[in-house]
């Protein structure tokens, strides 16, 4: 998730959002075997506590990602957290992904470093309203 306080459930399992349920299950089973509390009894208490914590995180991630409806809701929340949104005067809205704005900003920064940026010319991401024909140009200021 984008700068969220919560851990990304896919990262907890060492998976990606495009992985199938079978692939997620396989990754969960690997982690469960590695960090299950019954297997960690012989280890020192610090390692065992860390292992139990990892096991509980993996278990919680699996419980959400294994259920199709919960996974869909999680993916929608995850996607929404990485969006910039603005309401249009028509009642619709504008939305652009954070990574799209960052990519454009990085490209603009590289142009500035190379000296290729034209004076007075500012690039940005053009975002269209989801209901009308109005468009906005989204620019992120560079920290120069």
pLDDT tens sequence across 21-37: 999 999 999 999 998 88
Residue 11's pLDDT is 92
Interatomic CA distance for residues 107 and 129, integer angstroms: 24
Cα(128)–Cα(144) distance, integer angstroms? 29
For position 5, what pLDDT does the model report?
A: 46
Give residue 25's pLDDT: 95
Extended strands (E) in 6-130: 83-87, 93-97, 125-128
pLDDT tens digits, residue range 124-137?
A: 788 889 899 999 88
Closest CA to 128 of 98, 102, 90: 90
pTM of the predicted structure, to 2 decimals: 0.54
pLDDT in tens, the chain (144 residues): 554 446 889 999 999 888 999 999 999 999 999 988 887 776 677 877 888 899 999 999 999 999 999 998 888 887 766 677 888 999 988 888 777 777 877 777 777 777 655 554 566 788 889 899 999 888 777 665
What CA–CA distance (Å, rounded) separates 12 from 63? Answer: 12
Tell me the domains of the chain and their CATH numbers: 9-81 (1.10.287.110), 83-138 (no CATH)
- Separation CA 55–CA 32 (nearest Å): 6
Residue 75: per-residue pLDDT? 84
Q: Of 77, 51, 50, which Cα lies nearest the Cα of 64?
A: 77
Q: Cα separation of 111 and 131, whole Å?
A: 34
Judged by phi (left if over 0) then psi (alpha if -120 to 50, else beta), residue 75 lies in: alpha
Contact 14, 61 (CB under 8 A): no
């Amino acid at each position: 998730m984008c700068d969220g306080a919560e851990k990304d459930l896919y990262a907890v399992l060492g998976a990606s959002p495009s992985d199938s349920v079978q692939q997620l299950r396989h990754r969960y089973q690997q982690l469960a075997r590695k960090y299950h509390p019954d297997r960690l009894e012989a280890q020192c208490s610090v390692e065992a506590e860390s292992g139990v914590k990892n096991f509980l995180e993996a278990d919680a991630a699996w419980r959400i990602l294994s259920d199709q409806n919960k996974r869909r809701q999680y993916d929608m929340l995850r996607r929404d957290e990485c969006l910039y949104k603005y309401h249009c005067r028509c009642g619709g809205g504008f939305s652009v992904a954070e990574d799209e704005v960052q990519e454009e900003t990085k490209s603009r920064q590289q142009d500035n470093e190379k000296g290729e940026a034209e004076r007075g010319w500012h690039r940005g991401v053009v975002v269209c309203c989801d209901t009308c024909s109005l468009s906005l140009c989204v620019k992120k200021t560079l920290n120069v």
